[in-house]
Structure 1
Amino acid sequence: MKRAMLLLGVLLAFAAGAAAQVQLDVQEHVLANGMKILMIQKPGVPRVVCHVYYKVGSINERPGITGLAHLHEHMMFKGTEITGVTDVAKDAEIDRKIDAVMDKIYRERFWTPGGGDPAKIAAWQKEYDELAKAQKAYIIKDDLWTLYMKNGGTGLNASTGNETTGYYVTLPSNKVELQMLLEADRMANARYREFYSEKDVVMEERRLSENRPGYLFSEQVNAAFYAASPYHWDVIGWMDDLRKVTRADLAEFHNTYYVPNNAVAIYVGDFDPKAIVAMAEKYFGAVPRGKDIEPIRTYEPPQYSEKRIYGKGPAPTR
């Protein structure tokens, strides 16, 4: 026992020493609108890893719009007024018509007892399909990724968690300004093109997850363990909420949380910090500050009883 304790002490001392040796020289600059810029210089290879994080995730949702943070992450790749589209006015006009048609479908399908009139829904669905087809003539697919790739960008990606959402790309050192231009544009002017078809993509992600017994078990454990707090649901959200969420819900979410005072940009690589700050002031600094973000209201109360989950499901053979 003494030997084990001695070994544990040595390991802890080693871990503490190793942690003490990891010292990052982080330079910080805060813009007037509240956005924080963090920089770590690594001279040598003329590349810069660029991250933009928003302090928003599934815990900022509520019942009825679960999964919205993750869906919003998908929609951030659908363009702005200067990317992803050839005719902004015509595209916006079609979006308004699509929303009007989908509002009819939603009301009939989800608000009417029994699921509404199938004939009405089918007619409106046909109208939606025609509008969506017409809109494709004005959409430039994967425009953001194309712009980055043409300028040496790699690793374009994004992720959504319980508490944060991040967007990443790695660029040559002399192309960081492009990242700031595009990310500031997405922050201020995101347009949610192909919203309803992208919802289908996310719902398919949910279905694929449901085919994994481990996922369903994990989801049920969280739902049982967290009784009140928004950790109660998974990041991808409940399927019924995904079916019913609207573009208006998405816009409200963006306007609340995708603001500079709720964002942090991180740059790691070979660059001049003064140049990074100057570009950040020019692009991110031009985005108006949003309203202060209200902290999460509901915290998990003390639990006074035991909880158990029993379940059966198909599992892969090994």
Structure 2
Amino acid sequence: MEKLLKPEAWHPEIDIKEYRFDNGLTLLVLPEHRLPIVSFQVHYAVGSRNERLGITGISHLFEHMMFRGSKELGPEEFSQVIQAKGGEVNAFTTSDNTSYYENLPAAHLELAVRLEAERLVQLRLTQDNFATEREVVRSERKLRAVDSPLGLPLELLSAMAYTQHSYQWPILGWDYDLRNLTLEDCLDFHRTYYNPANMVAVISGDVEPESAQAMVGRYFGTIPSPGPPPPVRAQESPQRGERRAIYKKVSQVEAFLAGFHVPSLRDPEIYAVLLLAAILGEGKASRGYQRFVRPGQAIDLEVHLPPPPFAYQDPGLLIIIGLAAPGYPLSALEAEVWQEIAQIQEQGV
């Protein structure tokens, strides 16, 4: 017990091994032998920031396409094979990257590595599976944005906050663009962004670094690469004043949403802002809950700032969402939230 209470036990040194292959692929290996399991992750440096008007939402659509089959496997068979070995499979798209991962018994690590490499090279991109998955993504957008009480207001908030940067459009994309995407758009996207020079592979768990390097080299090391795509150099100009809009819809409650520009992930100050967001809005012990929800002024008071790996690569937004309790004036709730924030500015937390 005494050993566990020492500060060095809270933050043990993390011994990550890094390897670079000739085709540009980066591999990170973190050995952890306490359990016979591993996590194999593939992170592609492409997200909604790499899109443009006309193809918004293609990064997220392509995440779906990666499960639609390859030369070796049929649609959704990738997941079924991993799950049959006791593993789990998932993927996610952010503003800045698209990630795929398999958590499974260490004895089956090579299976996951081989299948990830196979679908990277032999992905089945046909008009039929493209058209099917495009409609799936449009339905997902309808569920998560259009039919969600705060989905469209959140999209409006980002569109107002960013007038120049590609963070202005949603990760799900605009429906007009999704409807008009073509198979050729996907083929071009795959050629540009899905190559070894634009990806980082990660293996964490019960594995030796040297064997992991050899395994990844065997399946990924010979895949040709055109090199990394050109970087996105968008930069949002400083905002010179408040921007405000009113979104009207049928609802039994009123809400206000506010976004504050915050530092990028590269800025050390982002960690203080992440801590502040947790203090203000995470759980029933947060100041937002204790100050506004518990006394009855608000149904909910949330503060959102995505942590890694979902954090913004460029300066992002801290978002405050306040839902006024029935009968409580929304303007009064908003004013009281600003008073609380002003008190933190003056007195600290």
Q: Secondary structure at the match of 1:184?
A: helix
Q: Which of 169, 174, 178 is the aligned partner of 2:107?
A: 174
Q: What is the distance in 1 between the residues matched to 2:252 and 2:196?
A: 46
1:252 alignment partner AA: D
Deviation at 1:224, TM superposition (A): 0.9
Q: How does 1:23-102 map to 2 (within 5 A)?
A: 23-84=13-74
Q: What is the distance in 2 between the residues matched to 1:77 and 1:279?
A: 23
Pair 307,205 (structure 1): closer, same or farther in 2 beyond 3 Å: same
Deviation at 1:284, TM superposition (A): 0.9
Deviation at 1:314, TM superposition (A): 2.9
Q: What is the distance in 2 between the residues matched to 1:277 and 1:243?
A: 42
Deviation at 1:292, TM superposition (A): 2.6
What is aligned with 2:250? 314
What is aligned with 2:87? 153
TM-score by length of 1: 0.73
What is aligned with 2:142? 207
- Contact 2:193–2:228 (8 Å) recurs in 1: no
Q: Which structure exhibits the higher relative contact order, with contacts defined as CA atoms closer than 8 Å and separated by 6 or more residues?
A: 1
Q: What is the distance in 2 between the residues matched to 1:71 and 1:304?
A: 35
Q: What is the distance in 2 between the residues matched to 1:227 and 1:162?
A: 16
Pair 69,282 (structure 1): closer, same or farther in 2 beyond 3 Å: same
Q: What is the distance in 2 between the residues matched to 1:19 and 1:291?
A: 41
Q: What is the distance in 1 between the residues matched to 2:187 and 2:18?
A: 30
| 1:113-162 Cα deviation digits (max 9, x unpaired) | xxxxxxxxxxxxxxxxxxxxxxxxxxxx42111221233322x0000000
What is aligned with 2:124? 191
Deviation at 1:228, TM superposition (A): 1.1
What is aligned with 1:232? 168
Deviation at 1:305, TM superposition (A): 4.4
What is aligned with 2:218? 282
Pair 243,68 (structure 1): closer, same or farther in 2 beyond 3 Å: same
Q: What is the distance in 2 between the residues matched to 1:19 and 1:262?
A: 35
What is aligned with 1:109? none
Q: What is the distance in 1 between the residues matched to 2:24 and 2:163?
A: 34
What is aligned with 2:186? 250
Q: Which of 297, 300, 308 is the aligned partner of 2:233?
A: 297
Q: What is the distance in 2 between the residues matched to 1:197 and 1:306?
A: 42
| 1:59-94 Cα deviation digits (max 9, x unpaired) | 00000000000000000001111221xxxxxxxxxx
Q: How does 1:5-20 map to 2 (within 5 A)?
A: none
Pair 62,26 (structure 1): closer, same or farther in 2 beyond 3 Å: same
Structure with bigger helix share is 1
Deviation at 1:20, TM superposition (A): 8.1
Q: What is the distance in 2 between the residues matched to 1:20 and 1:229?
A: 38
- Contact 2:24–2:227 (8 Å) recurs in 1: no
Structure with bigger strand share is 2
Pair 174,56 (structure 1): closer, same or farther in 2 beyond 3 Å: same
The alignment of Structure 1 onto Structure 2 pairs a total of residues equal to 245
- Contact 1:213–1:314 (8 Å) recurs in 2: no
CA RMSD of aligned residues (A): 1.8
- The answer to whether the aligner puts 1:143 opposite 2:77 as a matched pair is yes
| 1:192-217 Cα deviation digits (max 9, x unpaired) | 24111111111011111211131111
Q: What is the distance in 2 between the residues matched to 1:251 and 1:18?
A: 49
1:212 alignment partner AA: S
Q: What is the distance in 2 between the residues matched to 1:292 and 1:266?
A: 18
What is aligned with 2:336? none
Structure 1: 5+ residue stretches without partners = 1-16, 85-140
Pair 316,157 (structure 1): closer, same or farther in 2 beyond 3 Å: farther
Q: Which of 265, 273, 280 is the aligned partner of 2:201?
A: 265
What is aligned with 1:87? none
